[in-house]
Structure 1
Amino acid sequence: MTHSELQATYDHIIVGGGVAADKAARAIHGRTPDAAVLILTRDPEGPVSRPDLTKTLWLDESTGLEDIDLGTAGDTGAQLVTGVTVTAVDPSTHTVTTDGGNTVTYGTLLLATGASARTLEDAKGGDDSRVTCIRSVSDYRDLRSKVSEETRVAVVGGGYIGSEIAVALNAIGATVDVYTPDDRLLGHMFPASVTDHLEEVYADKGVTVHHGFLLDHLDASGETLKLVPEHGSAASADLVVIGFGAVLETGLAQDAGLTVEDGAVAVDASLRTSDPDIFAAGDIIGFTDPLLGRRHVEHVDNAEQSGEIAGKNMAGDTATYDYTPLFFSDIFDDGYEAVGTLSTDLDTLEDWNDDHTAAVIYYLDGGIARGVLLWNTWDSVPKAREVMTASAAGMLTGEDLRGAIAVG
């Protein structure tokens, strides 16, 4: 669908094209199937399963882009316009304005704008075609088209995205180097018992991790890219993938006068913003977690669950978002699921199996479990939430947590 085919008014407008938008559209359709719904996204593609952009598409040769397309418009009857940017939201007139010059009226509005990849803004050569991130289908296509066996790829950043894309690139035969300013890969999340193991696994698979490398700028003046650190020797690569994390897309909300707290769009239990006819879901929301209080979470489970609740309420339901999201990843032959806050700034209590291949690791604040890592331990997320609830109530604290969740 194009700009010129837009109606003047819709019952519901969704701004954003990720999984939160998909879940919201499905929820609206399920409750009010005849409602007029418009989805506006600046992505050139419709909603897809974004975790697969750094996972399945690289690791499973039988999976293609068509397999991760969520089919939102076809399944829900929503009108989907891609490649369009919403430039303004006016709560007083219930309108949104697009970069194509259209102004459209809504009954309720959902902001599901997500986040954009953080970049090295002042990098020399930072706009070079050999420098990319991995956030969208377009990013995936671009990177995949440039990588073949023995392509030398530098992944800058040793966090969640960096660790995943390194595995993905290695799977198709690229020569991968990871550059991180930290002492350990994923060291901000995992204790040494896990990170030491990961360092060995990456090395065994042929991925080299360079610690203490704080990138200053990129030099794209030669045939190969040079990564110049603040201190130490430069490195070189054919391609650079930036994995610095993401920036929440809250600009529309701020410009519309909606309340933004600690960088996230503030929502109540119904996922309404400070304007009762504007909802928000996904990465951008600051919500009340029933176990951890006010927080924001940049993971797909939160996007899916909050998108569904927002969509229901846009269509007249009175559902509440009282949910503690999980997140997950697979790293070569290891995998994990996690709930809550995983930060090595907290104390940790580690519960390993006998052969040290699986663990449950509790992240403690004053002896209270604020996060649980299920390392190679499956089907235990509901139990982890139960244990965190009991811990917050003083029923399980400190060493009493050991054995509360079966390992492996």
Structure 2
Amino acid sequence: MKNEERNEIQNLQQVNQPYDYLIVGGGMVAAYAVQGIREYDKMGSIGVVSTDMDVPYTRPALTKKLWTDDEFTQDQVPLDTEENGVELKLETAVTEINRDQKTVRLDDGSILSYDKLLLATGSEPIEIEGPDDDRAIFFRSWEDYRKLRAYSGNNNHIIVVGGGYIGTELAAGLIQNETRVTFVYPEEVLGEKQFPEEITKEYEQPFREAGVQMMNGKRAESYRKDGDKIIVTLDDGQEIEGDALVSGLGVSPRTDLAEESGLKVDDGVIVDQYLRTSDPNIYAAGDIATYPDEILGSNRIEHVDHARNSGETVGKVMAGSDEPYTYTPYFYSVVFDISWKAIGTLDSGLETMIDEVGEGKVVYYLKDNKPAGILLWNVEADLDEVRSILDNPPSDPSQLKGAIQEKED
């Protein structure tokens, strides 16, 4: 018997269980993919392999409601994925995909086989140089929330790094929970890369009024431990001492597994309108998928609305649906009394047109005299109207005035 044949037989003997649907990643994409599968296939076997220690959960609550809504508790965070007859393998990593044999190898050496495979590996946070320590939190998971919650309150001092979604929401949430906050971000004015000047002034003001120490125009270079404290060193040499550090410096898509298995990758895993990769039996959705958006073109989005909708669609497709992914997702944030939603490109370097709507604003980001992105600033409007304008914009940008109105209660 040849060595190759012997190895193949040995591999087959190691297969623990075949799955009709195997999902790599245990985030919101996985949870909604399971729901999509079950709409078309009530009985097919589903396995979910996740490096997370928790069952799939609603990620936005970790930076929003758990800090600002006393009636929202951690009991409401799980997404009840197990109720759909799913076998969950937590704190487990897939180390290799064998596309020819349609198997994956786990970090414990065991092998699982699949009929359809979904890659939903999400993203990993960008880190600052420093030692491993529970007080240095690169925020991404429910466990990160629990760590941060343990260090917050009691007038403790938390250093928040990064002026994006995670940083702004956590800085706002922490200051509202009896915590002293120093907020380090590279922009001279918070949000200046995304928002026009008129908006950034409104955005930064409530942080200052709430007592957040704003360290604008600064970057965190590294951190170190000092007893029971964390010392953060800034790019100008200044040092800040805190009880903990929480960082939201952005994320990078976890595409290593796809690349190593030979799938087409360019920024993200390349998929078609059915969220299929270059292998017809392997799909990708959520943060890692670069997909053809009908309005925005080739796109990769790291936001929850995309996770939900791409997850549900890919689940249906894997189970037999011929429904393509035609949805253009929105993204949003809530800090203090400010709520905003957007679709498309938010780049303050573009020409902007601001329309006063009720007590809020609609901002149109213009490229070649056409809207490339639309921001709803404290405006509750029909998002399908926003998509329609992006898809079929007027020939004259002045006609955008009054095009979007606030929803009636």
TM above 0.5, yes or no, is yes
The alpha carbon displacement at 1:212 in A equals: 1.3
* SS state at 2:115 partner: strand
Q: How does 1:199-278 map to 2 (within 5 A)?
A: 199-261=204-266, 263-278=267-282
The alpha carbon displacement at 1:346 in A equals: 1.7
State the distance in 2 between where 1:223 and 1:296 align.
40
The equivalent residue for 1:68 is: 77
State the distance in 1 between where 2:118 and 2:341 align.
29
Q: Name the aligned partner's letter for residue 404 of structure 1.
A: A
Pick aligned residue for 2:344 from 310, 330, 340: 340
Q: Name the aligned partner's letter for residue 18 of structure 1.
A: G
Q: Name the aligned partner's letter for residue 397 of structure 2.
A: G
State the distance in 2 between where 1:249 and 1:48 align.
19
The equivalent residue for 1:185 is: 190
Pick aligned residue for 1:163 from 164, 168, 182: 168
* SS state at 2:226 partner: coil
Contact 1:259 1:274 survives alignment (8 Å): yes
State the distance in 1 between where 2:103 and 2:238 align.
53
The equivalent residue for 1:112 is: 120
The alpha carbon displacement at 1:145 in A equals: 1.2
The alpha carbon displacement at 1:217 in A equals: 1.4
* SS state at 1:8 partner: strand
Q: Name the aligned partner's letter for residue 203 of structure 1.
A: R
Provide Cα deviations, 1:21-52, integer angstroms capped at 9, x if missing partner: 01111111121111011011110111100000
State the distance in 2 between where 1:307 and 1:162 align.
26
Contact 2:16 2:110 survives alignment (8 Å): no
State the distance in 2 between where 1:149 and 1:158 align.
24
Pick aligned residue for 1:83 from 88, 91, 94: 91
Pick aligned residue for 2:106 from 95, 98, 101: 98
The alpha carbon displacement at 1:61 in A equals: 2.0
The equivalent residue for 2:61 is: 52
The equivalent residue for 1:306 is: 310
Contact 1:215 1:229 survives alignment (8 Å): yes
Contact 2:381 2:406 survives alignment (8 Å): no
Q: TM-score, normalised by structure 2?
A: 0.93
Identity of aligned residues (%): 36
Q: Name the aligned partner's letter for residue 381 of structure 1.
A: L
The equivalent residue for 2:329 is: 325
State the distance in 2 between where 1:381 and 1:171 align.
30
Q: How does 1:133-144 map to 2 (within 5 A)?
A: 133-144=138-149
* SS state at 1:220 partner: strand
* SS state at 1:58 partner: helix
Q: TM-score, normalised by structure 1?
A: 0.93
State the distance in 2 between where 1:350 and 1:379 align.
15
The alpha carbon displacement at 1:194 in A equals: 1.2
The alpha carbon displacement at 1:141 in A equals: 0.9
Corresponding residue pairs, total: 394
Q: CA 1:174 to 1:326, structure 2 compared with 1: closer, same or farther past 3 Å?
A: same
State the distance in 1 between where 2:239 and 2:147 align.
25
* SS state at 1:108 partner: strand
The alpha carbon displacement at 1:233 in A equals: 2.5
Contact 2:352 2:363 survives alignment (8 Å): yes
The alpha carbon displacement at 1:223 in A equals: 4.7
Q: Name the aligned partner's letter for residue 134 of structure 1.
A: F
* SS state at 1:63 partner: coil
The equivalent residue for 1:358 is: 360
In terms of mean alpha carbon deviation, does 91-100 or 233-242 score higher?
Answer: 233-242
Pick aligned residue for 1:297 from 301, 308, 323: 301
State the distance in 2 between where 1:244 and 1:277 align.
34
The alpha carbon displacement at 1:396 in A equals: 4.1
Contact 1:369 1:397 survives alignment (8 Å): no
The alpha carbon displacement at 1:340 in A equals: 0.9
The alpha carbon displacement at 1:398 in A equals: 2.2
Contact 1:149 1:175 survives alignment (8 Å): no
Contact 2:357 2:405 survives alignment (8 Å): no
The alpha carbon displacement at 1:400 in A equals: 2.0
State the distance in 1 between where 2:73 and 2:108 align.
32
The alpha carbon displacement at 1:283 in A equals: 0.5
Q: Name the aligned partner's letter for residue 260 of structure 2.
A: D
Structure 1 gaps of 5+ residues are: 1-5
Contact 2:350 2:367 survives alignment (8 Å): yes
State the distance in 2 between where 1:46 and 1:186 align.
33
The equivalent residue for 2:7 is: none
The alpha carbon displacement at 1:407 in A equals: 5.0
Alignment of 1:31 with 2:40, yes or no, is: yes
The alpha carbon displacement at 1:255 in A equals: 0.6
The equivalent residue for 1:3 is: none
State the distance in 2 between where 1:19 and 1:66 align.
16
State the distance in 2 between where 1:270 and 1:35 align.
20
Contact 1:350 1:360 survives alignment (8 Å): yes
The alpha carbon displacement at 1:138 in A equals: 0.8
* SS state at 2:366 partner: strand
The alpha carbon displacement at 1:379 in A equals: 3.2
Alignment of 1:22 with 2:35, yes or no, is: no
Pairwise CA RMSD of aligned residues? 1.6
